Structure 1
Amino acid sequence: MAWEFFSIIGIMAFAISGAIVAMQEEYDIFGVYLLGIVTAFGGGAVRNLLIGVPVSALWEKEMLFQIALFSMTVLFLFPNGLLKHWYRWGNFFDAIGLSAFAIQGALFAVEYNLPISAAVVAAVLTGSGGGIIRDLLAGRKPTVLKHEIYAVWAALAGLLIGFEIVTKDLYLYLLFIVITVLRILSYMYKWRLPFKSLQGSQQ
């Protein structure tokens, strides 16, 4: 039950997130669908490659593809006046997708009896891989590669699930809420990881 919930929520959230970015960049309808699909399924494809699962396994998720296409179609058909407000929610949907896919990725690794390190990697890649590909295709700097706190929350979910601290469905749902809220708070209050700039030293 938890697996299906996080798969559906993650697919919908990242598909909408990718579609919003595409419309912000004034892509045509093909670009909207392409960027949405890549955002929704790109992280899972990269994860499958690294943990030894055939990428072709994604094509067995026909229902999830239909959900992604339906979500983007509804968004595309929204009146422009309403879409202006939806643009402001891009980071909100991104946070939902990050949380849902991070948990789903960690559960994926645990199901295959992989070590804790694999659970963390699977959580980070599933939660942020699609967003990285989306930002690169849109000509933006990937959020996860900047000093903004993003993938850290996915890694936290992977650790908690990998160590089997969070196992029951109820606790997984609570973890989903906590990770989503933490990501939103880190964006709103501009929480940052330590970083070092070399721009001044180049002069």
Structure 2
Amino acid sequence: MAWDVFSVIGTIAFAISGALVAMEEEYDLFGVYILGIVTAFGGGAIRNLLIGLPVSTLWSQEMMFQIALAAITIFFLMPHHLIKHWNRWGNLTDAIGLSAFAIQGAMHAVHLELPLAATIVAAVLTGAGGGIVRDLLAGRRPIVLRHEIYGVWAACAGLLIGLEIFRGDFFLYSLFIVITVLRIFSYTRSWSLPIRKLQYSK
């Protein structure tokens, strides 16, 4: 049950996130659909490649594609006076998608009985991979590579699930809320990881 819930939540959140970025970049309708679909499914495709699953397994998720297309269509048809305020919530949908897909990716790795390192990588790539592809196609610097904390939260989700200390749907739903809130706080409060700049003398 939890797997299906996180799949739906992540698909809707990232499909809208991709559509929002496409509309901000003034892409046409086709571009909006492409960026929305890529954002929703790009992370899963990258994850499958690295954990040894065929990318073609994505095509078995017909219902998820239908949900993504419906979410993009509804968002595109929303009145302009509602969409123009959506940028305030853009980071919220991204945080929700990150959290839901990070947990889903980690669950997938655990189900395949992969080692802890693979579970963490699966969580990060599933949670952040679609956003990376989205930002690259939109000509933006990927969020996960910025100094603000982003991918770390996905890695934390992967670590906790991979250790299998806690189990059950209640833990997974609680973790989803915690990761989402932490991602929002890291953005609104400008939490960041240490950076080191290199300056070369001319």
Q: TM-score, normalised by structure 1?
A: 0.98
User: How far apart are residue 202 of structure 1 and its match?
Assistant: 4.4
2: CA distance between counterparts of 1:184 and 1:146? Answer: 15
Runs of 4+ in 1 over 6 A off after TM superposition: none
Q: Does residue 1:22 correspond to 2:22, yes or no? A: yes
User: How far apart are residue 7 of structure 1 and its match?
Assistant: 0.4
SS in 1 for 2:35: helix
Q: TM-score, normalised by structure 2?
A: 0.98
User: How far apart are residue 166 of structure 1 and its match?
Assistant: 2.9
Residue identity in the other structure for 1:14: F
Q: Superposition pairs for residues 118-133 of structure 1, below 5 Å?
A: 118-133=118-133
SS in 1 for 2:85: helix
Aligned to 2:200: 201
Report the CA distance shift for 1:202/1:177 in structure 2 as closer, same or farther (over 3 A).
farther
2: CA distance between counterparts of 1:148 and 1:136? Answer: 18
Q: State the Cα deviation string for residues 16-62 of structure 1 (Å, max 9, x = none).
A: 00000000101000000000000000000000000001110000000
Q: Does residue 1:49 correspond to 2:54, yes or no? A: no
SS in 1 for 2:84: helix
Aligned to 1:78: 78
1: CA distance between counterparts of 2:180 and 2:201? Answer: 38
Residue identity in the other structure for 1:111: H
Aligned to 2:149: 149
How many residues of Structure 1 are paired with residues of Structure 2 in the alignment? 202
Aligned to 2:173: 173
Structure 1: which 5+ runs fail to align? Answer: none
Report the CA distance shift for 1:111/1:25 in structure 2 as closer, same or farther (over 3 A).
same
1: CA distance between counterparts of 2:195 and 2:165? Answer: 30
Aligned to 1:137: 137
2: CA distance between counterparts of 1:94 and 1:84? Answer: 17
User: How far apart are residue 145 of structure 1 and its match?
Assistant: 1.1
